[in-house]
Structures are given as C-alpha cells and as structure tokens.
Amino acid sequence: MTAPSPIAQAAAALPHTPAGPERDALLTTLHRALRTAPDPPHPLRDTVLRACTPAELRDWGPYGAHELARRTGEPPCMTPDFLHAPTPPQSLLSAGPPLDDEVFAAAVRLLPDAPAALRDGEDLGSWVSRHRAALNAWQTMWRDVLLTHPDRHRAVVTLTTGTPAGNVVRDLLLGTLPWAVAPDLLTELADDDLSRFDGALLAARICRLLCAGRTPQDVRAEVAGELDALPPDVRAFPEAWFGTLGAAPERGVNAAAEWAERAATGRWRALLDPTTAGERTWRAAPADVQALAERFAAVAAHALDTWRPAPGRADRPRPDWLRDLPPSEAGGGVGTAPVPG
C-alpha cells in the first residue's frame, strides 16, 4: 500500500490543526503546492479549501472565490443579526488586506443584499421598524468595508454600480468618509452627484406645468427630449411626478431647492464644512475640497433661483444650511443670499 504523499498528509492534518504557527506552515505548504501547480489535484485542493476559515481564502485566487460562493449561496437580505454573526464574505473582508483581486470581488458581490421588501400580508408598522434597523445595519456593514479597505474604494464603487448597494456606497464615500477617499475618486463621486441635480430641476418644471393645468400627456411630450437625455437612474425621479406613483405635483414644484437643501445638510455637509469631519487627515488637498464646495454653491444658487411658493404650502428654504456655502464660482455670496419668500 502506497504511503500518503506529504501534501496529502498536510491536507488531512489541516482541519485538526488550531490557529497558530503550525497551521500557518501547513497552509503555506498547501498553497504552494495546490494554488500554483500547473495541474492541481482537484479533490485534494477542494478538501483544503473547505477546511480554510474565510480569512484563509484570501490568497487562493479564483479557487478561493469559488469556495466563498459555495459557502454563501444566494446572498441573504441584510438584518442587524449579521453585524454580530457575519456571513463568510463579511468575515473575510473584516480580516483586512491583502486579498487577491478575485477573492475581494467575490466577497463584495456576495455580501448581504438590501433589507427585505414588504411582503403581502405583512404588518406595515412592524416592517417599517425592522426595515429601518436593517437599513442602518446595512450602511454600517458597507462603512466597515470601506474603512477596512481604503485602497479598494474604486473597486467597491465599480462592483456595486447598478445594484441596490451602489447608492449606499457612493453616499458613504461622499458624505460620511470623504476625508478617506482618493482625490480623483472624490471628484468623480461629486460630479456624479451634481449631475443628479438636472433630474430635480426637470422635476420642478414638470410639477409647475402640471399645477398650471397642463395634462400629463402634454407635459410629457414637451419634456420628452430632456427626459431622454437623463441617465435612467436620474430620469426616474422626474418621471415619478406624472402620476404613475401617485405623487402630487404640488409637492414637487420646489424639487430643485429641496434637493440642494438635502444635499447640503446631508451628503455634502463635510465637503462644505470640513471641520464637521473632526480631526481627520484628508487625502484630498484643501484647495480641491474648496473647489468642490464652490461648485456645489453654484448649483445651490441656481436651485434657490427656482424657488417659488408652492400651491397650498407656506414652506420656504430654511436659511441655516446656506451659511455653510462659500461664494459660488459664478459670483455672489450664496451663503449670505436672502432666502426667497
């Protein structure tokens, strides 16, 4: 009877070897033999991969990515429990760099998905409470990933583009962690966010035309070219005011000004006033951050110029957020401009 090879002996010993130098040595030997061999013995390699912890899959390339996918299956909907009992992709990413590119990409794609939608017959009040907690946990999960892998921000943005997580990732980088973002990526995120203002501007125009008595069909025909020019994810907002989602046009006549207010008090707040980020060392130069703030100020000035009293509503832009705005590139001190109304 042929004695087991040293590699087979190491593979058999791995599941029974606790964390420590001996296990590290076994993994190094097995990785060298099975990860880089021209024709690795598949059954033995699979045995080793199944004995690895999630973090130990980090440098197994496509084999580690495949094993991670096998363990995870279909990504579950996020719940707060996953912050305390993480899935395999969460455990792997929380271990930190370095990770092979294939393994990192697989882990990001396999992270828990957006919180579950309301099911037929489910109590709305209970669902809202659970959904809010799950959404907060989902944002925390992504924040931890971005903080743990600061050199992978662009990869995370690319991997999540077009998914429900995409907006969460972009808002976190722009609004919660802008100090940790590379200058070129920060500028791209800001550009993308400012491009969404066109959707809010068109929404305000659509609502005013509808409030003036025009039919949705007439208004849609008038703005068809402008709608078609918007990216699909931006177009959805102005299209919602045609009545398909039950949105009352009276509530959208100041969509542009309200967009600017939400942005200034939320995801743009740290860029407009970097002191709100605390004692952080920014990757972007102060002049670059100031330039972004000035570009936002120009958009805010345009937004405020569009403000009109809404039918049946006495609200107006609140002046507190205007104080954080620098003078816009177009001239004029937006931060000291009078509030319409």
In angstroms, rounded to a whole number, what is the distance separating the alpha carbons of residues 56 and 217? 59
pLDDT at residue 323 in the model = 66
User: Are 242 and 206 spatial neighbours (Cβ–Cβ below 8 Å)?
Assistant: yes
pLDDT band at 331 (very low <50, low <70, confident <90, very high): very low
pLDDT at 339: 37
How confident is the model over 251-285, as pLDDT tens digits? 899 999 999 999 999 999 999 999 988 889 999 99
Is residue 246 over pLDDT 80?
no
Q: At 341, is the pLDDT very low, low, confident or very high (cuts 50, 70, 90)?
A: very low
The pLDDT-based confidence of 171 (bands split at 50, 70, 90) is very high
Domain range annotation of the chain: 193-336
Select the highest-mean-pLDDT range: 122-126, 318-322, 329-333.
122-126
* Res 17: pLDDT: 94
Q: SS3 for 115?
A: coil
| Structure confidence by residue, pLDDT tens digits, 24-64 | 999 999 998 888 766 656 778 989 999 999 999 999 999 99
pLDDT of residue 340: 41
pLDDT given at position 334:
45
Res. 301: pLDDT tops 80:
yes
Prediction pTM value:
0.86
Q: CA-CA distances (angstroms) from residue 19 to 51, 87, 89, 93, 115?
A: 12, 20, 20, 19, 34
In this model, does residue 329 exceed pLDDT 60?
A: no
* pLDDT tens per residue, range 190-199: 999 999 999 9
Mean pLDDT within 307-320: 64
Distance (Å, whole) CA 103 – CA 46:
16
Q: Where are the alpha helices (DSSP H) in the chain?
A: 6-13, 21-34, 42-51, 61-72, 88-94, 101-109, 124-148, 153-160, 164-171, 183-195, 197-211, 216-229, 232-239, 255-265, 269-272, 286-305
Please tell me which residue, 234 or 39, carries the higher pLDDT value: 234
pLDDT for 304 equals: 87
- Report residue 277 CA to chain centroid gap: 19
Residue 248 half-sphere exposure, CB side, CA atoms within 13 Å? 6
Phi and psi of 24, rounded to 5°? -60, -40
